[in-house]
Each structure stands twice: as structure tokens, then as C-alpha cells.
Structure 1
Amino acid sequence: MIWHLIAALFAGLAAAGVGLLLRSLSGKRLPRWIIPVCGGLGILAFQIHHEYSWFHYKQQQLPESAKVVSTEEERMFWRPWTYLFPLTVAFSVVDRDNVVTTQGNEERLVEFILYRFEKEYIDVVKHQAHLMNCTARETLPLMGDERRPRVSELRRVEASDPLFQAVCPTP
């Protein structure tokens, strides 16, 4: 967090320097307020770049076996540019190396862990074990250390769902 603040400060100083250079090159015909305006725009541009590059940066940190299965985008009124380009604020990942497949009653069952990354002032990572019936295309969360299925949260998934395609590849 402190490094982000320092980087934003230096981006603002650099942009203010560009404003000062422009004012000098114009023979001081540009108004003096151009310098702090350029500084503020530099800080704003750095912050926007940082927010939009978060998802790509986090994806690069994941192992090769990780597959992004969903993303969450938001639009915020205090960030009007997000109405044109929505900001990715969360995504879910399945690590295909940690998928356990079993056969039971002529049905293929897959146990996996779904990781959810959320962009907050500090990054939040949550994980939840799940069980998917690849034959019936149903999934449900597993609760606790003993991994009891929570049947009340059973839901069907489509064959085109990225989660289904990641954990139940066609043989």
C-alpha cells in the first residue's frame, strides 16, 4: 500500500514536470494552474492504470494449471470511465492439478477447490471445496474439514459453463 502511494506521488510529480515544461516552452503563455492540473491528471492516470491492470497482474501470478472460470465486473458512479470500460473487481479460479475424480454409481464425481480473488484495498482470497457430478451437471459446496455436502445449495450447470469445462473435460 505504501509503495502504491509513493508511485502515485511520483507519477503526479512527473506529470507536473511535464506541465512545467509545457509552460516554459510556450514562453509562459500557458496559465500557472496547468502545473497542478497536470500533476492531478498524472495521479489519476496512474490510479486508473493500476486498477485496470490488477486482473492481468493477478492472472500472471497464477500457476499454469490454474484456469479462470468467472470474472466479476462493476460500474461505479465515482469512476465514470467504468461505464465505458467496466472494472474487473473479482474472479474465480480452479487449479486443475488439484482436481480429484472418482467414479460412483455410473456417475463421474469431481472434487475441486474454487478460489475467489477480490480486489479490495488489500487483495482478498477465499477458497471453497466443491463437488461436481459431471454426468448430471450438478455442483454443490462441501463444508468443513470433513467436507460434508451442502445439498441445499445444489445447482445445475450448463455444458458451456467455463467451470464445467475446466473440471469435467470430455475424455
Structure 2
Amino acid sequence: MIWHLIAAIFAGLGAAGVGLILRQASGKRLPRWIIPALGGLGMLGYQIHSEYTWFENKQQQLPPSAEVVSVEEARMFWRPWTFAFPLTTAFTIVDRDNIAVSQVDGGRLVEFILYRFEKAYVDQVSHQAYLMNCTTRDMLPLEEESRRPRTDGMRRVEASNPLFQTLCRRADTAPR
């Protein structure tokens, strides 16, 4: 967080410097307010750039085996440009290297951990273990320590869901 603040300050100083150079080059015909105005625009531009590249930067930090299965975008009235270009605020991944596949009673069960990254004041990461039955498309959370299924959280997943496609339709998740 402190590095973003420092970068925003330097972006503002750089843009204000451009305003100063433009004012000097114009023989001081440009108004004096151009310097702080460009400084503010530089800081705002850095902030917008930082927010829109957050998703790509986080993806680059993930291992190659991580696959994004959902992306959440938001529009905010205090950021009017997000109505034209929605801002990615959260995404969910599955690590293909940590998938356990087993066959039980002719059905294919996949145990996996779902990671959720959320853009906030300080980036938040949460994870939850799940068990998915690829035959019935039922998914239920597992308890943290005991890995026992919690049937109260069971839900059905659509066949077109990218999570189902990643876990059950790919050949690289063959039983081990």
C-alpha cells in the first residue's frame, strides 16, 4: 500500500513537471493552474491504471497450474469510467496440481481447493476445500481439519460452469 502511495506521488510530481515545462515553453502564456491540474491528473491516471492492471498483476504471480474459473466485475458511481469499462474486483481460481480424483460407485469425485482473491484496501485471499461429484454435478464444502463433507452447503453446478469444465471435462484430471 505504501508503494502505491509513493508511486502516485511521483506520478503527480512527474505530470506537474510536464505542466511546468509546458508553461515555460509557452513563454508563461499558459495559466499557472496548469501545473497542479496536471499533477492531479497524473495521480488520478496512476490510480486508474493501478486498479485496471490489478487482475493481470495477480495472475502473473500465480503458478502456471492455477486456472481462473470466475471473474467478478463491478461498476461504481464514484468511478464513472467503470460504467464504460467495468473494473475487475475479485476472481476465483483452482490449482490443477492440487486436485485429487477418485472413483466411488462408478462416479467420479474430485476434491479441490477454491481460492478467492478480492481487491480491497489490502488484497484479501480466502480458500475453501470442496468435493464435487462429476456424475451428478453436486458440489459441497469440506470442513477445514477433518475434511468431512458439510451437506448443508451442497449445491448443484451447471455443466457449462467453467469450474465444472475445469474439474470434470478435462483429460488431465484423470484418476491417480
TM superposition score normalised by structure 2:
0.94
Matched residue, 1:133:
133
Matched residue, 1:159:
159
Deviation at 1:170, TM superposition (A): 4.2
Equivalent residue runs for 1:55-74 within 5 Å: 55-74=55-74
List per-residue Cα deviations over 1:72-100 (Å, max 9, x = no partner): 11111111111111111110000000000
Matched residue, 2:174:
none
Equivalent residue runs for 1:4-23 within 5 Å: 4-23=4-23
* Structure 1 stretches of 4+ moved >3 Å: none
Deviation at 1:143, TM superposition (A): 1.6
Equivalenced residues, count: 171
Partner Cα distance (1:104, 1:133) in 2 = 10
Letter in 2 for 1:139: M
In structure 2, stretches of 5+ residues that fail to align are 172-176
Letter in 1 for 2:95: D
Partner Cα distance (1:42, 1:5) in 2 = 13
- The 3-state SS of whatever aligns with 1:143 is coil
Of 114-123 and 39-48, more deviation after overlay is shown by: 114-123
Partner Cα distance (1:126, 1:133) in 2 = 23
Equivalent residue runs for 1:86-165 within 5 Å: 86-165=86-165
**How large is the RMSD of aligned CA atoms in angstroms?**
1.0
Deviation at 1:27, TM superposition (A): 1.6
Deviation at 1:144, TM superposition (A): 2.5
List per-residue Cα deviations over 1:103-134 (Å, max 9, x = no partner): 11110000000000011111111000000000
Equivalent residue runs for 1:73-88 within 5 Å: 73-88=73-88
In structure 1, stretches of 5+ residues that fail to align are none
Partner Cα distance (1:84, 1:34) in 2 = 28
Letter in 2 for 1:23: R
Letter in 2 for 1:166: T
- The 3-state SS of whatever aligns with 2:103 is strand
Matched residue, 1:49:
49
TM superposition score normalised by structure 1:
0.97
- The 3-state SS of whatever aligns with 1:128 is strand
- The 3-state SS of whatever aligns with 1:168 is helix
